[in-house]
Amino acid sequence: MTAQTTAMEALQKELDRLNRAPGLSATEDRVDKIIEMLTSVKDQIVQSGMDTHVASMSITRIQNPIKSTFEKINDDLKGVTATQRKLGKTLDKHFPLKDLPSTHDAMADQESLINRAISMHLLREGQFSVASTFIEETGDAATLENVNAVGEGQDQVSASDNYDDEPMDEDRDDDDDDDEDDDDDDDDEDEYMSPLEGAATGLGFRQLQNLSSLQSHELEAKFSQMYTILQDIKSRNLLSAIEWARSNSGELEARGSNLEFELSRLQYVWLFKGPRVNGLPDNELNGTAGALLYAQQNFWRFGNRYIGEIQQLANAQIYARNLSESPYRHIFSTETAFADVASSFTREFCSLLGLSAESPLYVAVTAGALALPLLIKYQQATRAKGTEWTTTNELAFETPLPERMLYHSIFVCPVSKEQTTEQNPPMMIPCGHVLAKETLQRLLKGTRFKCPYCPAEGLEKDARRIMI
Amino acid sequence: MADHEASKINHDNHLLLDQPLLRLPYELLRKNFRSAHFTVEKESTTLNKLLKETAKGSLDGKTSPEDVVKNLDTMIAKMRGMKRKLSTYANEETRLYKQLDARVAHLRELSDMHSVEDVKYEAWSRKRLDRLLVDYMLRHGYNTSAQALANEREMHDLVDVETFLTMSKIRESLENGSVTEALAWCNDNKKELRKLQSNLEFLLRCQQYIELLRINTPSKSVEAITHAKKYIAPFQEQYPDEVREMAALLAHRPTDKNLPPKYAAWYSPDRWTKLATSFVEAHNKLLGLPTFPLLHTALSSGLSALKTPACHGTQKTTSSSQPGHSQTSMTSTVCPICSIELNELAKNVPYAHHSKSHLDNDLLLLPNGRVYGQAKLDEYAAKAGLAEGQVKDLVTGEVYSRTALKKVFA
């Protein structure tokens, strides 16, 4: 059991205790009691006809009970505070407030860049309405900044007007239905000023650059389209995806992607399974015959590239009755097929936009959570020694990340233990070993060197720069 | 082996970003309790006193039964008022208990996960990202967006919208030239502010004084002096220099010619911005909140951990990709640092330190100087439908014969 598990358990225990113990609500009952006592005394006096004797007796008599009720309230409160304090102690013990690195905030002046990253992240996640709200809210701030910077007393167009009235992209036509974002549609025609006009009146190109609204508007449209298609795939409708793949077949092929074929194949398989499985109407477009028809109409596109796979699909027709015993059964299992094709689609769609399939912001923050403890440990160590972490080009300590977060090849010269960079690139020498350029130069005796790994020798000019 | 280590979740310090998550409701609980306690103390003392006096008066014959009844009415009204207040505090307490439950539950989920590859970890990490985003938005005053996101993800118990909204309101009021709200807040938190040795209240009182002087009429000047005597003089020992400067301001008005910069600074409108900042600092310190939005912290360490020298280089490298250049399906795992979302942002952070190389196996050198692992070359050649003895460069697309390749030992 790690330390953290015991910490969480201790915390949970205290929390349970807190929940079981009476809280402030218990005191309300006691206050009711006091009110009751006071009211009954008042009634007594009134009913007695304002009798002096009754008045003085009854009021004197309740002094002590009331006082003791108050004392009981106090005890209750003491109990509550004691339980709460215990929770605090547990927090102090197991979750002490560690000083997060605060001496040097690299992100301090980067608000607009961070905002842009967040907007794009929200768009990727399909959070279209939150994204619009955010873009508007941050757009206003950036506009205000620039207004002050420009310092001109002209009527400034507000950020939201600017992008509401933007000329429509062609892509917008594609995603008329599932558009979750309705902010853009309502607009205020009065203050329309096209971005170019705005630039002309001196609002400044910088303002337009800062307003990522132009970019985001387009991006939003694209992501919206992607989400529409993904929804379709989820509901087993591949047609929109196939259409997209066809209209982008040039780029997809250049990338070496098989997406269009993957989709068509899955469509064939899906039809093959017949109306009972795929829920489509039982007609000549469905079932094994329907699949065959589909193949005849569509597979010609693939020429000779997938001839092997297409043959398998055709041969499967023979096994239509006992597919599960055929050698092709694995092609026809669709449990994960739709999910797989969905993620292929997402990957290709994003790549065509020049974006990664996974949100960079998400990866960065997850990596940050892994690296942070090491940073703090390092800071504590250097603080103790008196040296501080200065902003050099390279971190002074290692921050290991899982394999899938290593996106680039890294070469560390075994001799100098340094990473290769553009200024100090990896060099391959004739024997096939690799060294950093600076290392190589240090090994040179005149124009000759000896490989540190093997007996081979070589001339400086025989070493060549390689790109990993 | 190394990857297994790197993927392991180190429970001891994985929750560093989440400390304020637990702290804040706790601090608010304590604050709530103190208010309730204070109310009870005040009302009970008053009531007991009145009760005693009424009883004595009644026994002495000085207080008539009518007066006794009148006093009783007062007492009942007071108690009803106290009950209403307690009810509010009790509700707040219940709400905070619920929040604590939700937060501890969220953090406990992590105990069952042992590797970042765990499918559940991704969901948990995304939740954490959402939390950090809401926190960031709140701190920068993007309140509408913060609420929208919190609503969308249904994570109200995991974020502190109300706290930051209140803080925002007070901050805005300061930026708009009003000290009232801030002073009220100082009053509520007197004891804790004193513990922190905060000078906020003093600065606020000074600003009130300055505003009175700004009007520059004799009557206002008198008011200013009275104000100073009451509110500023008590700080004489703590902040002697400032108190002296305040006194000097009587002789230096904002409309004076050749106003020394020292005094001009006090009259300057950007003092309000400074006050707003001081308030935010005091507020965060009080509630145990970190100085910067947690997102900043996570980002700067994350960006550094991911960054390589190649990310801002000019070469088209294998695994990275730059928008606009041709990429292949195989190298489509785009490095987050190279992405347009983060590339600019990561320019000024240091890159990660590596002590071991990370390269493909069976490296082969193409005649154009590029190096790839054999497996990658084989796969790509097959996909591109090349003849047996040929390979294709994954980035440039150039085709070469296998015989032209050289083995690399790195």
Split at pLDDT 50, 70, 90, the class of A326 is confident
Query: In whole angstroms, what is the distance from residue A310 CA to residue A48 CA?
Result: 105
Contact A412 B354 (CB under 8 A): yes
pLDDT tens sequence across A113-135: 899 899 889 888 878 889 888 98
For residue A144, the model assigns a pLDDT of 44
- In this complex, how many residue pairs, one in chain A and one in chain B, have their CB atoms less than 8 Å apart? 462
Q: State the burial class of residue A335 (Cβ atoms within 10 Å of its Cβ: 0-12, 13-18, 19+).
A: exposed
For residue A102, the model assigns a pLDDT of 56
pLDDT tens sequence across B189-208: 888 899 888 899 999 999 99
Query: In whole angstroms, what is the distance from residue B394 CA to residue B383 CA?
Result: 11
Mean predicted confidence (pLDDT) in A272-285: 86
- A286 close to A280: Cβ distance less than 8 angstroms: yes
Taking CA–CA distances from B91, the nearest residue in chain A reads A25
Contact B52 A257 (CB under 8 A): no
Query: In whole angstroms, what is the distance from residue A207 CA to residue A193 CA?
Result: 14
The residue whose two tokens read 């939700």 is B102
- Chain A within 8 Å of B155 (Cβ-Cβ)? no
Split at pLDDT 50, 70, 90, the class of A157 is very low
Instruction: Give the helix/strand (H/E) hosting A112.
Output: helix A111-124
Residue A200 has pLDDT above 50, yes or no: no
For residue A380, the model assigns a pLDDT of 79
User: How many CB atoms within 10 Å of residue A346?
Assistant: 18
How does the average pLDDT of chain A come out, rounded?
A: 79
- B354 close to A412: Cβ distance less than 8 angstroms: yes
Chain B, 280 to 319: residues with Cβ < 8 Å from chain A are 288, 290-292, 294-306, 308-311, 313-315, 317-319
Between residues A298 and A169, the one the model is more confident about: A298
Query: In whole angstroms, what is the distance from residue A358 CA to residue A338 CA?
Result: 19
Minimum-distance CB partner of B55 among A2, A60, A432:
A60
Minimum-distance CB partner of A25 among B90, B308, B314:
B90
Minimum-distance CB partner of B342 among A364, A406, A431:
A364
Split at pLDDT 50, 70, 90, the class of A386 is low
The values of phi and psi at residue A204, to 5°, are 95, 135
- Chain A within 8 Å of B358 (Cβ-Cβ)? yes
Split at pLDDT 50, 70, 90, the class of A322 is confident
DSSP state of A117: H
Residue A185 has pLDDT above 80, yes or no: no
Taking CA–CA distances from B48, the nearest residue in chain A reads A67
Between residues B24 and A144, the one the model is more confident about: B24
For residue A388, the model assigns a pLDDT of 57
Among A136, A377, A467, the residue to mutate for chain B (most B Cβ within 10 A): A467
Between residues A104 and B93, the one the model is more confident about: B93
- Extract the residue ranges of chain B whose pLDDT is less than 50: 1, 319-327, 332
- A436 close to A415: Cβ distance less than 8 angstroms: yes
pLDDT tens sequence across A247-259: 998 888 877 788 9
Split at pLDDT 50, 70, 90, the class of A214 is low
Chain A residues with CB-CB distance to B350 below 8 A: 391-395
For residue A336, the model assigns a pLDDT of 81
Minimum-distance CB partner of B380 among A102, A116, A256:
A256
- Chain A within 8 Å of B258 (Cβ-Cβ)? no
Taking CA–CA distances from B409, the nearest residue in chain A reads A433
Question: Among A21-25, A204-208, B94-98, B207-211, which stretch is predicted with the lowest mean pLDDT?
Answer: A204-208
Taking CA–CA distances from A433, the nearest residue in chain B reads B409
Residue A136 has pLDDT above 70, yes or no: yes
As a whole-number percent, the residues of chain A with pLDDT over 70 amount to 80
Minimum-distance CB partner of A28 among B87, B295, B314:
B87
- Chain A within 8 Å of B210 (Cβ-Cβ)? no
Query: In whole angstroms, what is the distance from residue A99 CA to residue A136 CA?
Result: 34
Query: In whole angstroms, what is the distance from residue B384 CA to residue B329 CA?
Result: 11
The values of phi and psi at residue A160, to 5°, are -70, -35
Taking CA–CA distances from A114, the nearest residue in chain B reads B345
- H helical segments located in A125-248: 128-150, 159-164, 195-200, 205-210, 213-234, 239-247
For residue A78, the model assigns a pLDDT of 92
Minimum-distance CB partner of A397 among B40, B353, B406:
B353
- Chain A within 8 Å of B88 (Cβ-Cβ)? no
For residue A108, the model assigns a pLDDT of 78
Split at pLDDT 50, 70, 90, the class of A211 is very low
Between residues A450 and A390, the one the model is more confident about: A450
Split at pLDDT 50, 70, 90, the class of A364 is very high
Split at pLDDT 50, 70, 90, the class of A99 is low
